[in-house]
Chains A and B, each alone.
Chain A
Amino acid sequence: MLPCRESARLIAVSYERPLGLWENLKLKWHLRACAICQRYREQMELVNRALSRVSDLIVTDEDRLSDDARRRIAGKMKLEGE
């Protein structure tokens, strides 16, 4: 059977490109029999889902422009516009 390390590598690769037919089959066979690699895949899936909506998850009021920065940018734009 495919070593767990190779299975984990294929899981990681699958986020960057579609797996080939043979790679896909090898991974499926492995995952049917290996609960540990299934956990790895669940974790990677979680990371990917979290990243895909990262701006909803972690952007807070502290990340917004400060009042000082707003004033500074508005001042620069006024100067440039004149």
Chain B
Amino acid sequence: MVKNRATAEELVQETFLAGLESLHKFRGGSNPRAWLFGILRHKIHDYFRTAFRFGELERPGETYDFEAHLFDEQGAWIEPPAALPCSPDELLQAEQFRKVLESCLEKLPDIQRSVLLMRAFEELPAQQICKELGISSTYLWVLVHRARGGTRQCLEENWLRRTGE
């Protein structure tokens, strides 16, 4: 979720220290790994909320003309999306696909990658993300759609079109 390695390590350190401090709150029988991941998730959200407020993260515009560059004035595709070369299951197994996916996610601005993963990987409710990051639901929509659309387009340009050539 966090691109910078030093920041990631700092967040892990803060997580362990917070865990140590609140060890008395840990209930025996619970899964310590899940408990620490819960703390880490809060630390990551805190990091983004703070960086976002203080303008350390790129803040894309709050309006979004849905995928405008992909369509002509009549709303028809300018360049039709490429067909998948094989089944999604086969693609997800392919080493090259994983590499392209990783580089596509790295290219996204931090805040877009973060909210996209909160929605699609962590499956957090939109309302909770808005509250934790202090952003409106409209803006969350804009960020998630830019991120999902950007990832799709990057995969198409760097993988689907190349494998179809």
* Chain A residues within 8 Å of B, Cβ to Cβ: 3-6, 8-9, 12, 15-16, 36, 39-40, 42-55, 57-58, 65-66, 69, 72-73, 76-77, 80-81
Please measure, in the bound complex, the distance between the C-alpha atom of A38 and the C-alpha atom of B12, giving whole angstroms. 42
Chain B residues near A40: list those with CB within 8 A: 81
When the two chains form their complex, are residues A58 and B141 in contact, meaning their CB atoms are under 8 A apart?
Answer: no
A8 to chain B, nearest CB (A): 6
Hey, which chain A residues are within 8 Å of B160, CB to CB? Answer: 43
A12 touches B75 (CB 8 A): no
The 24 sampled A-B contact pairs (Cβ below 8 Å) are A4-B77, A5-B75, A8-B70, A9-B67, A12-B148, A16-B145, A39-B82, A42-B83, A42-B84, A42-B88, A43-B82, A46-B91, A46-B92, A48-B148, A49-B88, A51-B120, A52-B120, A52-B123, A69-B12, A72-B13, A73-B13, A76-B16, A76-B17, A80-B20
Identity of the chain A residue whose Cβ is nearest the Cβ of B160 in the assembled complex: A43
- Tell me which residues across on chain B come within 8 A of A9, comparing CB atoms: 66-67
A9 to B148, CA, bound (A): 12
Closest CB of chain B to A64's CB: distance in Å?
10
Contact with A along B58-85 (1 / 0, CB 8 A): 0000000011001100111100111110
B121 & A54 in contact (Cβ 8 Å cutoff): yes
- Among candidates B17, B66, B75, B144, residue contacting A80 with C-beta atoms closer than 8 Å: B17
Closest to B71 in A: A5
Neighbouring A residues of B88 by C-beta, 8 Å:
42, 45-46, 49
Q: Could you tell me the distance between the alpha carbons of A51 and B20 in the complex, rounded to whole angstroms?
A: 32
CA distance in complex: A58, B148 (Å): 17
Which residues of B are in contact with A by a Cβ distance under 8 Å?
A: 9, 12-13, 16-17, 20-21, 66-67, 70-71, 74-77, 80-84, 88, 91-92, 98, 101-102, 105, 116-117, 119-121, 123, 126, 141, 144-145, 148-149, 151-152, 155-156, 160
Task: Count contacts between A and B, CB distance < 8 Å.
Answer: 117
* Distance between B11 CB and nearest chain A CB, rounded to angstroms: 11
Residue of A whose beta carbon sits closest to that of B154: A47
Flag if A73 contacts B20 (CB, 8 Å).
no
How far, in angstroms, from A77 to B21 measured CA to CA in the complex?
10
